[in-house]
């Protein structure tokens, strides 16, 4: 796959950083939507920010859905593999290390990032999942022993139930991922505390299997 297959922005790292952030926008966003957030989380990291290739009522998304919260699983799997292939092609084109890619996904972007963890775990070193839910239940056992994941969801989110959040954490933990679950006193919108927690998590050296931060 060529990098020209997906509209995107690439910004190289500074100060010798090995990390590349992969911002993945929510429904209606685009490749520039999360650039300020990425810079806030890690100013030194490289940034590869793609635009979702599916349109829903004119709004970009990363995969199709049949209704709110009901995903087109065939399309999700196809788009997940295409996105992972794009990241690999971009690593070769822009000469960044494909073993140090951290997804930063919001809503629909968090869901395809979770799908990448489940279908193409080699594509991501870590993931920040903001208001994400379970994309699908894996058919086979997974192995994610070196993968770190932050899930930051709202206690009052009308779109993502607490049980969905816990189930996503459990699926990733069962595969061996180091999961941090941050509960925010919020709905589906992002808050300042999401950014504070995510920036601190990215900067920290995680050694525990799972930690949970309380609502703020």
Provide the annotated active-site residues: 107, 157, 188
Q: What are the φ and ψ backbone dihedral angles of 101, each rounded to 5 degrees?
A: -105, 125
Q: What are the φ and ψ backbone dihedral angles of 172, each rounded to 5 degrees?
A: -70, -40
Alpha-carbon separation of residue 125 from 7, 53, 103 (angstroms) = 23, 23, 8
Asked if 119 and 75 touch (Cβ cutoff 8 Å), the reply is: no
Q: Running DSSP on this structure, what letter comes out for residue 63? A: S
β-bridge pairing 148-154 and 126-130: parallel
* C-alpha dihedral, 37 to 63 to 170 to 209, nearest 10°: -40
Find all residues with CB under 8 Å of 213, minimum gap 6, and list them. 180, 181, 182, 183, 197
Helix (H) or strand (E) holding 193: helix 192-203
């Amino acid at each position: 796959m060529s990098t020209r297959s997906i509209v995107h922005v690439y910004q190289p790292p500074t100060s010798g950083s090995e990390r590349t952030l992969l911002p993945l926008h929510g429904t209606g966003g685009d490749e520039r939507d999360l650039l300020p957030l990425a810079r806030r989380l890690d100013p030194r990291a490289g940034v590869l920010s793609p635009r979702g290739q599916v349109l829903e009522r004119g709004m970009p998304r990363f995969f199709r859905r049949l209704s709110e919260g009901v995903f087109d699983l065939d399309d999700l799997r196809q788009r997940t593999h295409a996105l992972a292939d794009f990241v690999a092609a971009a690593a070769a084109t822009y000469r960044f290390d494909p073993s140090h890619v951290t997804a930063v996904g919001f809503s629909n972007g968090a869901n395809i990032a979770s799908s990448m963890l489940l279908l193409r775990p080699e594509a991501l070193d870590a993931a920040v999942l903001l208001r994400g839910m379970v994309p699908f239940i894996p058919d086979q056992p997974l192995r994610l022993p070196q993968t770190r994941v932050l899930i930051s969801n709202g206690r009052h989110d009308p779109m993502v139930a607490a049980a969905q959040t816990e189930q996503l954490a459990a699926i990733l933990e069962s595969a061996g991922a180091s999961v941090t679950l941050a509960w925010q006193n919020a709905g589906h919108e992002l808050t300042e505390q999401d950014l504070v927690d995510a920036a601190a998590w990215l900067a920290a050296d995680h050694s525990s299997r799972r930690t949970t931060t309380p609502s703020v």
